[in-house]
Structure 1
């Protein structure tokens, strides 16, 4: 049985989001207007406002969708019956796949340019990003509770590991426009970060 076709309102909403992504990437946050988005989507400005009450709300929805798409992989739960290294390596590789999404990287660049004058907006955006990283903290907490990692602060340990990853696969791309990592570079970062983390935190 075939899936039902999307409703007209759903199709219009999808067209608005697609057009907005293109406009934000091309023109930046400040230069993008709801008029431009409406023209690009082939709908009226009223239709855009019916779906999104403001440009901020529209942009926030785009970021939220990118984050949801980027973390679409299932959560990797801690397994007491498996060696630590392959489990952690798989988690790190999953994180690197998220950061390999060029749409995500480009729109985060736009977002950071938009939020620099607004600390409140910055805190909200990075809080959302932080929520999506909780899976790694949960894994570290479970491994520590099982006596296989030595840390009293799983969140701190998680942030250290994420800092190693983002130092190669996020901040250079965001702040200096460097290309996303190649497969070989991602493999090198994943293996080295995993080994460095376990060298310090793995219980003897």
Structure 2
């Protein structure tokens, strides 16, 4: 009896995932306003009734997709500051990995989909960014521990991480997000320069 229940749960989870995958495809191809629930059900190979059992409206479907994006952000491993290793090298590896995550094909496609709708709906955008702001990114956690250890002067770690990542994203993320092509720059050199600027500003007092 327990085995049957487990199989049933797996089937429910699979149908939910199939519906979400179909919705992502339909939203990408048609845009949220023009997307049709009938088409999503067809792509997912489920009945419209089954779709509505999982998601009561197109808006709820989109909310579930934004949840996936936020979960992707939250799943990024939090990094610990290592007192025995140079901070510059730790920041370089962390930023390099973070940029690689942001520019991955799957994440980038999902991000474009969500952001296009957030630009259209300010209330949805405010709710999304309020939830995103509650999550400490890996760079912020690393900078916070470096400040606590005295490797950086005291300050707001979230603000410092935002300064660093804003510069890096300007050169390495936004061109790919907006134009679909990587910027013609040396990514490692950009990351190194941005880190050096932040370290020059937040370096520990002599």
TM-score range, shorter chain: 0.7 to 0.9
Contact preservation (8 Å) 1:151, 1:157: no
1:73 Cα deviation (Å)? 4.6
Call closer, same or farther: CA 1:181–1:94 in 2, change over 3 Å: farther
Displacement of 1:129 in angstroms is 3.6
> How far off its partner does 1:67 sit?
4.3
SS at match of 2:155: coil
CA distance in structure 1 between the partners assigned to 2:118 and 2:148 by the alignment: 38
Corresponding position: 1:177 with 2:179: yes
Q: Within 1, Cα distance between the matches of 2:146 and 2:196?
A: 16
In the alignment, which residue of structure 1 is the partner of 2:192? 191
Single out whichever of 116-125 and 31-40 deviates more from structure 2.
Answer: 116-125
Distance 1:63 1:189 in 2: 30
Change in CA separation of 1:114 and 1:75 when aligned onto 2, cut-off 3 Å: same
What are the ranges of 5 or more consecutive residues in structure 1 without an aligned counterpart?
A: none
| Aligned-pair CA distance for 1:35 | 1.5
Structure number, greater radius of gyration: 2
Question: How many residues are treated as equivalent by the alignment?
Answer: 199
Displacement of 1:163: 0.6
Contact 2:20–2:65 (8 Å) recurs in 1 = yes
CA deviation vs aligned residue, 1:39-88 (integer Å, no higher than 9, x gap): 11010112112112222222232233244346645321112222111211
- TM-score of the pair, normalised by structure 2: 0.83
TM-score by length of 1: 0.84
Does the CA-based 8 Å contact 1:99-1:169 persist in structure 2? Answer: no
- Match of 1:39? 42
1:76 aligns with 2:79: yes
Question: Residues 109-165 of structure 1, C-alpha deviation per residue, up to 9 Å, x if partnerless?
Answer: 232222224222112222344445533222212211211112422221111011112
The separation in 2 between residues aligned to 1:91 and 1:55, in whole angstroms, is 37
Q: Which residue of 2 is the match for residue 200 of structure 1?
A: 201
Q: Which of residues 101, 105, 108 is equivalent to 1:102?
A: 105
Compared CA separation, residues 172 and 160, structure 1 to 2 (3 A): same
Q: Distance between the aligned counterparts of 1:187 and 1:133, measured in 2? A: 24
Worse overlay, 68-77 or 133-142: 68-77
1:85 aligns with 2:88: yes
SS in 2 for 1:31: coil
